[in-house]
Amino acid sequence: MSRAAFWRNLARVTILCVVASFVLAPMLATVLGGFKTNAELRMNAFALPQDWNVSFYGSILVDPAFWRYLGNSLLISTGTVVLTLLVGAAAAYVFAQIRFFGSRMLFSYMLLGLMFPFATAILPLFIKVRDIGLLDTYWAVILPQTAFGLSLAILLFRTFFDQLPKELFEAARIDGCGYVRFFWQITLPLSTPILATVGVFVFVQSWNNFLLPLVVLNSREAFTWPLGMMQFRGEYVTEWNRTLAFVTLTILPAIVFFLAAQKYIVAGLTGGAVKG
């Protein structure tokens, strides 16, 4: 029996290792590729480099454009997170806490964003952003991203706010605390778990977003890192090692951060679907 269990477990781990190598091999080749000369890369994509050539990584790290791309992405993502949390939580609070005529209808209206892909509206969105004069600004990405993220954010926030004890509010009311102050001073501080979930989720989406920045950002000054990466790839078409170094440098910090926060990412992904 235990011997059978041993073989079963061995088979299981073998399968897992095979899949894991399928997952990791391309990424490993990418990291290693950044250390190789092009000629060496051509000979063997997966072997360890003969000399660990750091000049390709180094030349990217001293390139101000690289840091500007990352900075732009960071600013846009942070802006989107802050705006989504504030605006989304405020609206969800009204839906959860205050009963008024048309509340249910407005709530359903705000959830419409869950129904369709972002790309359906991309052309009119481009025209709108251009006509408002926002092209090549951070707001061109932040505002539409926030608007499209609101549906999921409001859904998750509202579910959470509904579960907060009602007695809290009654007590605060008797002490003369109004709705707005209650939201700011009590609801928000009590909601850190859901704020973190939505915040991390929105951040990841924004950080990885490609289509919207591609459409509304034309100037290299404003490029986010995915656009910068494609630009870089275009400039060094024949030099894979530089591109691979660039990819590695941009994804490594993200992977570390995202793995640390994966709990929130999964919660955000599954939360909306299960409820809706």
Partner 1 sequence: MQMLNTRTPRPARRFWHGARSSRLTAIAILLPPGLILFSLFVILPLTESGYYAFFDWNGYGTPEDYVGLRNFERIADHSVFHTAVGNTAKIIAVSLFIQMPLALFLALLIYRKTPTNALFRLIFFVPYILAEVAAGLIWSFVFDGNYGVTASIARSMGQESFFILADRDWAFVAVMTVIVWKYFGFHMMIYIAALQGVPEDLIEAAKIEGAKRPQIVRYVQIPQIRPAIIVSAFFAIIGALQVFDVIIPLTNGGPSNQTQTIVTYLYSFGLTRLKIGFGSAVGVLLFLAAILVAVFYQRLFMKGSRP
Region of residue 176 (phi > 0: left; psi between -120 and 50: alpha; otherwise: beta): left
Q: Is residue 65 a contact point for partner 1 (CB under 8 A)?
A: no
Q: Is residue 253 a contact point for partner 1 (CB under 8 A)?
A: no
Which residues, numbered 100-119, are part of the site for partner 1 (CB under 8 A)? Answer: 100, 106, 109-110, 112-113, 115-119
DSSP state of 111: G
The site string for partner 1 over 13-42 (x = CB under 8 A, - otherwise) reads x-xx--xx-xxxxxx-xx--x-------xx
d(CA 3, CA 95): 59
Q: Number of residues in contact with partner 1, rule: CB under 8 A?
A: 96
Nearer residue to partner 1 within complex by CB, 62 or 274: 274
Which residues, numbered 208-247, are part of the site for partner 1 (CB under 8 A)? Answer: 208, 210-211, 215, 226, 229-230, 233, 240, 243-244, 247
Closest approach, Cβ 51 to partner 1, in A, equals 18
Interface residue with partner 1 among 50, 185, 218, 262 (CB under 8 A) is: 262
d(CA 199, CA 205): 10
Q: Is residue 273 a contact point for partner 1 (CB under 8 A)?
A: yes
Which residues, numbered 78-97, are part of the site for partner 1 (CB under 8 A)? Answer: 86-88, 90-91, 93-94, 97
Got the DSSP string for 174-214? HTT--HHHHIIIIIHHHTHHHHHHHHHHHHHHHHH--HHHH
d(CA 211, CA 215): 6
Which residues, numbered 135-154, are part of the site for partner 1 (CB under 8 A)? Answer: 143-144, 146-148, 150-151, 154
Q: Is residue 174 a contact point for partner 1 (CB under 8 A)?
A: yes
Residues 6+ away with beta carbon under 8 Å from 147: 113
Interface residue with partner 1 among 50, 54, 173, 193 (CB under 8 A) is: 173
Interface residue with partner 1 among 65, 121, 135, 196 (CB under 8 A) is: 121
| Burial class (CB within 10 angstroms; exposed 0-12, middle 13-18, buried 19+) of 2 | exposed
Q: Is residue 258 a contact point for partner 1 (CB under 8 A)?
A: yes
What are the structure tokens assigned to 176, written together?
Answer: 């003369």
What are the structure tokens assigned to 68, written together?
Answer: 């500007």
d(CA 156, CA 230): 34
